[in-house]
Structure 1
Amino acid sequence: MSIPSLSFATQIADVTTFTNAEFLQAIEWDRNASDAVKEAARRGSVAAFTKAWHANRRVTGAGPRASAGYGEKSMWSRQAYPEETGLVAIISRAAGLPAKRAGNSARRPVNKPAATWQQTVQPVVGELIDAISSEETRPLALLAALELLDQSGHRLQGEQFFTLWRATLTELRNWPAANLSDPTIPPDVLLVENGEIPFVGGLVFRDVANSVNLIKSGRKQLSKELVERTDTDGTPHADIISRLSLWLAPLIRSTLASERFGVTLWSDDQRQLLGNVVDRAIVLCRPDGRGALANGLGLDSLPVVSAAAGLFGLSLVHSTGAYLQAVQRAIAGKPQKRSRSEIATMPSSQSDWARFAVLRSDWSVNADSVAITHHRSLPQLDVTALGRPFIHGDWALKLKIGDADIELADEWSCVCWQSDPDADFIELQMSGPGRLSVERLVMLSRKERFLFIADSVSGIPILNSGSRGRSAGSDVRLLGNRTLAGTRQRIEYESRLPLCEGMVATCAGPTREGKISGSRFKARVFPLGIPQDRVLSTPHEFSVEGNDLVLKHVAEGEGLFAPLLFVWHPERTRVDATWRTLTVTEDGRVVGPDAGVGYRLKLGDFQLMISRNLKKTGYARACLGHHTFNETVVGKFDSNGDIEPILMVE
Structure 2
Amino acid sequence: MTDSLRSSSNDTLAPASWLQQSPAEMVDAFRNFRWKRSATDLQSALASDDAAALASLFRKQWKSLGPCKAKRKQAAWRSHAELLRTQLKTTLVETHPEIVTPWADLLDRAVTDSVEVSRNGEAAALATTAAAVADQFARTPLLMVDCAPEDQLVAALQAIAAVDVLLLSGGHLPDETLLALQWGLLRDATTLQQLGDWPDADDEAAASRKRLLGELSCLLGSVFTDLSGMRDLSRLGRSMLASELDAVTDSDGTPHGRMLNVFPQLLATFARHATICEQTEQKFLPGKSEERYRQLLERGCALTDDSGQLALSTCSPEQWIPVLQTAVGMLPDWKKQAWARSTLASLPGNDEAASKAADKRGFAEEESAATHTEWGEVTCLRNNWYPGSDRLAVLHGRADMQLELNVLSTPMLRGVWKTQIQMDNQPVSLSDNWAVMCWHNVDSCDYLELQQRIDGLILERQLLLSRNDHLAVLIDTVKTEADTPLSLQWTLPLTDGWRARPANGERHLVFQKPGPLRVLPLALPQERVHKADGELTADDQAIHASISGQRAICLPVMFDWSPERRGKFCHWNRLTVTEERRVLTPQETFASRIRIGKHQWMLLRNLQHSGKPRAVLGQHVTPETLFADFHRTGEVDKLLEVHYGEE
1:204-256 Cα offsets, whole Å, 9 max, x none, are 44544555675455333212111122222222222213332221111221222
1:289–1:300 contact (8 Å) kept in structure 2: no
2:469 is matched with which residue? 448
* Greater fraction of residues in helix: 2
* CA deviation after TM superposition for structure 1 residue 47, in Å: 2.0
Question: After alignment, is 636-645 or 245-254 more displaced?
Answer: 636-645
Alignment of 1:224-243 (within 5 A): 224-243=243-262
User: Quick check: 1:80 aligned with 2:95?
Assistant: no
1:470 is matched with which residue? none
1:90 is matched with which residue? 105
2:486 is matched with which residue? 491
Provide closer, same or farther for how the CA distance between residues 531 and 331 of structure 1 changes in structure 2, counting only shifts above 3 A: farther
User: Quick check: 1:406 aligned with 2:428?
Assistant: yes
* CA deviation after TM superposition for structure 1 residue 117, in Å: 6.0
Provide closer, same or farther for how the CA distance between residues 599 and 205 of structure 1 changes in structure 2, counting only shifts above 3 A: same
Q: Distance in 2 between matches of 1:120 and 1:597?
A: 73
Provide closer, same or farther for how the CA distance between residues 341 and 278 of structure 1 changes in structure 2, counting only shifts above 3 A: closer
Q: Distance in 2 between matches of 1:32 and 1:283?
A: 51
Provide the TM-score with structure 2 as the length reference.
0.82
User: Quick check: 1:554 aligned with 2:548?
Assistant: yes
* CA deviation after TM superposition for structure 1 residue 566, in Å: 0.9
Partner residue of 2:534 out of 537, 540, 544 = 540
| 3-state SS of 2:448 partner | strand
1:461 is matched with which residue? 481
Question: After alignment, is 443-452 or 507-516 more displaced?
Answer: 507-516
What is the aligned length? 601
Alignment of 1:8-23 (within 5 A): 11-17=11-17, 19=21, 21-23=24-26
* CA deviation after TM superposition for structure 1 residue 594, in Å: 2.3
1:71–1:145 contact (8 Å) kept in structure 2: no
Letter in 1 for 2:495: C
User: Quick check: 1:49 aligned with 2:71?
Assistant: no
* CA deviation after TM superposition for structure 1 residue 144, in Å: 2.2
Provide closer, same or farther for how the CA distance between residues 54 and 94 of structure 1 changes in structure 2, counting only shifts above 3 A: closer
Partner residue of 1:247 out of 262, 266, 273 = 266
2:242–2:286 contact (8 Å) kept in structure 1: no
Provide closer, same or farther for how the CA distance between residues 56 and 642 of structure 1 changes in structure 2, counting only shifts above 3 A: closer
* CA deviation after TM superposition for structure 1 residue 625, in Å: 2.5
1:8–1:208 contact (8 Å) kept in structure 2: no
2:363–2:385 contact (8 Å) kept in structure 1: no
* CA deviation after TM superposition for structure 1 residue 449, in Å: 0.7
Question: After alignment, is 261-270 or 162-171 more displaced?
Answer: 162-171
User: Quick check: 1:153 aligned with 2:153?
Assistant: no
Structure 1 residues without counterparts, runs of 5 or longer? 1-5, 98-112, 463-487
* CA deviation after TM superposition for structure 1 residue 570, in Å: 0.6
Letter in 2 for 1:492: S
Question: After alignment, is 603-612 or 215-224 more displaced?
Answer: 215-224
2:277 is matched with which residue? 258
1:577–1:602 contact (8 Å) kept in structure 2: yes
Partner residue of 1:572 out of 565, 575, 578 = 565
User: Quick check: 1:347 aligned with 2:369?
Assistant: yes
Provide closer, same or farther for how the CA distance between residues 125 and 529 of structure 1 changes in structure 2, counting only shifts above 3 A: farther
Provide the TM-score with structure 1 as the length reference.
0.82
| 3-state SS of 1:592 partner | coil
Q: Distance in 2 between matches of 1:264 and 1:339?
A: 30
Provide closer, same or farther for how the CA distance between residues 404 and 55 of structure 1 changes in structure 2, counting only shifts above 3 A: same
1:425 is matched with which residue? 447
1:36 is matched with which residue? 41
Root-mean-square deviation (CA, aligned residues, Å) is: 3.5
Q: Distance in 1 between matches of 2:538 and 2:338?
A: 38
User: Quick check: 1:386 aligned with 2:408?
Assistant: yes
Q: Distance in 2 between matches of 1:267 and 1:496?
A: 47
Q: Distance in 2 between matches of 1:392 and 1:53?
A: 52
Q: Distance in 2 between matches of 1:514 and 1:357?
A: 27
Q: Distance in 2 between matches of 1:127 and 1:391?
A: 48
Letter in 2 for 1:442: L
Q: Equivalent pairs: percent with the same residue?
A: 23
Question: After alignment, is 349-358 or 362-371 more displaced?
Answer: 349-358
User: Quick check: 1:415 aligned with 2:437?
Assistant: yes
Q: Distance in 2 between matches of 1:412 and 1:146?
A: 46
Q: Distance in 2 between matches of 1:198 and 1:451?
A: 48
Q: Distance in 2 between matches of 1:317 and 1:507?
A: 48
| 3-state SS of 2:345 partner | helix
Provide closer, same or farther for how the CA distance between residues 24 and 495 of structure 1 changes in structure 2, counting only shifts above 3 A: farther
Question: After alignment, is 131-140 or 610-619 more displaced?
Answer: 131-140
2:81–2:111 contact (8 Å) kept in structure 1: no
Letter in 2 for 1:511: E
| 3-state SS of 2:411 partner | strand
Question: After alignment, is 607-616 or 17-26 more displaced?
Answer: 17-26
Partner residue of 1:512 out of 507, 513, 516 = 507
Letter in 1 for 2:378: F
1:367-415 Cα offsets, whole Å, 9 max, x none, are 1122333233333233222122222233222222124432323232322
Question: After alignment, is 413-422 or 21-30 more displaced?
Answer: 21-30
